[in-house]
Amino acid sequence: MDETPESASEVGSSSKPLAIMRGYLLVLPHATASKSESFAPHLVCEDQSVVRLHVKGENPFGASSLNPFHGRFVEITGHWGPRNRSLLVSGSNAKIPPFLK
């Protein structure tokens, strides 16, 4: 299930630093009790922080190409979106959790 990351220029502004994060990808409710309420992929990081994920070119309110990774430990590569609220994903690949090695 390895995927090759796109180039940084295809993902977003190259002036923003590339972020590489690891954690469990979960499809969770987003913006509950609002007009924008939907399910979206989030990364629950090793430090227990939760980051919303978005793939450039995909509808943020529809199904994501990241949904098949739900419940898996992954490494995500991307750039921070506007106001650092979400990570604009450039690629991902499944990794074995360090505690299972």
pLDDT band per the 50, 70, 90 thresholds, residue 87 = confident
3-state secondary structure of 48: coil
Domain count, the chain: 1
Pairing mode of beta strands 50-55, 86-94: parallel
Q: What is the pLDDT of residues 20-76, one digit of tens each?
A: 888 999 999 887 888 878 888 999 998 899 999 988 888 777 777 888 889 988 888
Domain assignment present for 81: yes
Percent of the chain that is helix, strand, coil (3-state, to 5): 15, 45, 45
Domain that holds residue 46: 16-96
Domain assignment present for 2: no
Do the beta carbons of residue 42 and residue 74 sit within 8 Å?
no
Domain assignment present for 89: yes
| First vs last C-alpha separation in the chain | 18
- Kindly tell me if the per-residue pLDDT of 90 is higher than 90: no
Query: Looking at residue 82, what is its pLDDT?
Result: 77
Question: What CATH number does the domain containing 92 carry?
Answer: 2.40.50.140
Domain assignment present for 28: yes
Domain assignment present for 10: no
pLDDT band per the 50, 70, 90 thresholds, residue 93 = low
